[in-house]
Amino acid sequence: MQANSKATFKKAITKEEINQLPLGQYSGKIHLIRRVEDVQDAVKQLQQETVLGFDTETKPSFKKGVSHLPALLQLAGSKAVYIFQIKLIQLPPPLREILSNPNIIKTGVALDHDIQKLQEIAPFFDAGFVDLRTIAEQIGIKHTGLRSLAANLLGFRVSKSAQLSNWAREELSQNQIIYAATDAWVSRELYLVFRDQLKANIPVNGSVALRRY
């Protein structure tokens, strides 16, 4: 599904309005990276991008006081989404280089927690990250979750069907793969709307960038 981006937005959007929208999901190329030896080739492709949608997935915990480190790292470019099974491969140096590169924008929602958890797997300096919530709040949008922003700015509803599934499993289901790819893709599409249509000021950590073109 192609993102049906709009130059206008609502200050707030209700759950009822979101539920009336058509379901949208990523339908492009997906690369699932589960071997360390495949990371370098994936990173070479990602280094050609200027904007990457960013997200992680973590095995849910249903016990108080028990938490898990991220099992997946998703990076969405203009031609494909790359899903790294970091439960299996950790964070090899080439992948950390992407996360530390101030010249490649990594954009998503509620990034601080994701970055902190990734740094528990392997230390790296985070640079070039843009939190979509910050941009949305600056222009007066009240509901700044990924699904609310997608409904508001892209005109479709993002499924939650796999949200609480076991992301740490070695063999991911097709539903999990599509879900994970969609979240990263939506983040990139939202960034492009903020930048190109709404002309929003975009604060970037680790560098200074306003209205990057």
Q: What is the pLDDT of residue 61?
A: 73
Taking the alpha carbons at both ends of the chain, their separation in whole angstroms is: 25
Show the 3-state SS of 48-91. Answer: CCCEEEEEEEECCCCCCCCCCCEEEEEEECCCEEEEECHHHHCC
pLDDT tens sequence across 63-80: 777 788 999 999 999 999
Beta bridge partners of 82: 31, 75
Structure tokens given for 88: 């299996």
Task: Say how far apart CA 203 and CA 194 lie, in whole Å.
Answer: 12
| pLDDT band at 116; cut points 50, 70, 90 | very high
Structure tokens given for 157: 């509803």
Residue 210 has pLDDT above 50, yes or no: no
Q: What is the pLDDT of residue 4?
A: 55
Task: Say how far apart CA 46 and CA 80 lie, in whole Å.
Answer: 9
Task: Say how far apart CA 27 and CA 112 lie, in whole Å.
Answer: 28
Residue bearing the bigger pLDDT, 206 or 187? 187
Run of H or E including 139: none
In the chain, what are the domains? 15-197 (3.30.420.10)
- Tokens 């009336």 sit on residue: 20
Structure tokens given for 92: 């090899």
SS3 74: strand
The structure's pTM equals: 0.90
Question: For 205, which DSSP code?
Answer: B
Q: What is the pLDDT of residue 204?
A: 78
Which phi and psi (to 5°) does residue 26 adopt? Answer: -70, 135
Q: Which stretch of 67-71, 147-151, 206-210 has the lowest confidence by average pLDDT?
A: 206-210
